[in-house]
Structure 1
Amino acid sequence: MKTLYLYSTREGQTEKIIHKIASELDSTNADFIDLHTDPQIELRQYEKILVGASIRYGHLNKKLYQFIDRHADLLTQKNAAFFCVNLTARKEEQGKDTPEGSAYIRTFLKKSKWQPSLIGVFAGALLYPRYSWFDKKMIQLIMKMTGGETDTSKEVEYTNWKKVSQFAQKFKN
């Protein structure tokens, strides 16, 4: 069985998550492709497809929607799943780490021609030292407004790896 792992990431956390999922499955016959490279992919050769994308400033990358627009029919026909990575999902006690509780997933489902049957929502990582000055200040402001970490010398990984593993098992079946 051949699997395609597609991802849209900024600082690499989404790619890290997709590789963690693949490591829990048989990924010997798999391709990993960054959606930002605007790949021309023949989806028919894959039995399973996993798409992961991160949120930046409240939005998924345009290239994700462009890809979905081109391939919505095949994504619907295939065993395909989607996950979203964002910092709001760190608020698990508020249900922000679920498809039902994620405003980003609600927006995605309204904008997307593809309506995946399996959707995951994972908290990402806050990597202040790696951000540009502008991004650092903007994200710091957002985190201050939402009760998050504001010390710009820190890197904080909020990803719940147990939840990622549970999603991997659902994708496997």
Structure 2
Amino acid sequence: MSHILIVYSTIDGQTRRICERIAIICREAGSGVDVVELAQLDETRLAEYDKILLGASIRYGRHRPAVQAFVQRYQALLHQKVSGFFSVNAVARKADKNTPQTNPYMQKFFAETDWQPDCLAVFAGRIIYPEYGFFDRNIIRFIMWLTKGPTNVTQRFEFTDWQKVDAFAAQFATMMVEK
């Protein structure tokens, strides 16, 4: 049985929801799993895990600075473990931008780091206009208008392909710890 750490950085909670779904599938596969928000991570325990999965959301075209700082600080450890990374963003709702090879945010992230995770994924997130403040609601609406996305500020839009999340989770859960 492997011991998995799933670390996440989220703004609106969708990345956490995805991590919780991944954790369920990993537990069903027989692994012990801890799910922790990056800001709450006890970094002294990282070495205890066989596998580390990092999930991060995008807001205004960037992952949060703490995500890249974590990768840079623990890159050597991440290379010693089975590791994975997934990005959650609204642009991944488009078929031509929903893979690690075609998603511009994933490409930008790895251009800025030397980390090479064993397992990668990109998931479309969600837009929850009614929960945003005035500024975020209008900026996100403008971005959606530019990218031909939904702009009705009274609605919530779920783009996450949960079957894709499940398939990624099953793949990560079954990766052998051989490093």
TM-score, normalized by length of structure 2? 0.91
The 5 Å alignment of 1:90-169 reads 90-92=93-95, 94=96, 96-169=97-170
TM-superposed deviation, 1:44:
1.0
Look up the match of 2:81. Answer: 78
Contact kept? 2:26, 2:33, Cα under 8 Å: no
- Alignment of 1:68 with 2:66, yes or no, is no
Look up the match of 2:62. Answer: 59
TM-superposed deviation, 1:38:
6.0
Look up the match of 1:40. Answer: 43
Cα displacement string for residues 42-87 of structure 1 (whole angstroms, at most 9, x for unaligned residues): 2110011111000000000000011111100111110110000000
For 1:170 and 1:112, how far apart are their aligned partners in 2? Answer: 24
For 1:158 and 1:61, how far apart are their aligned partners in 2? Answer: 21
TM-superposed deviation, 1:36:
2.9
Look up the match of 1:5. Answer: 6
For 1:142 and 1:84, how far apart are their aligned partners in 2? Answer: 18
| Secondary structure at 1:42 match in 2 | helix
For 1:41 and 1:19, how far apart are their aligned partners in 2? Answer: 23
TM-superposed deviation, 1:8:
0.3
TM-superposed deviation, 1:39:
4.3
> Which letter does structure 2 place at the counterpart of 1:98?
T
- Alpha-carbon RMSD across the aligned residues, in angstroms, is 1.3
Structure 1: gaps (5+ residues): none
Contact kept? 2:4, 2:51, Cα under 8 Å: yes
> Which letter does structure 2 place at the counterpart of 1:171?
F
Aligned CA distance change for structure 1 residues 119 and 131 (closer, same or farther; 3 Å): same
Q: 1:31 aligns with which of 25, 34, 41?
A: 34
| Larger displacement relative to structure 2 (127-136 or 37-46) | 37-46
For 2:36 and 2:137, how far apart are their aligned partners in 1? Answer: 27
Contact kept? 1:6, 1:51, Cα under 8 Å: yes
TM-score, normalized by length of structure 1? 0.94
TM-superposed deviation, 1:2:
1.4
For 2:89 and 2:168, how far apart are their aligned partners in 1? Answer: 16
Structure 2: gaps (5+ residues): 175-179
For 1:17 and 1:38, how far apart are their aligned partners in 2? Answer: 18
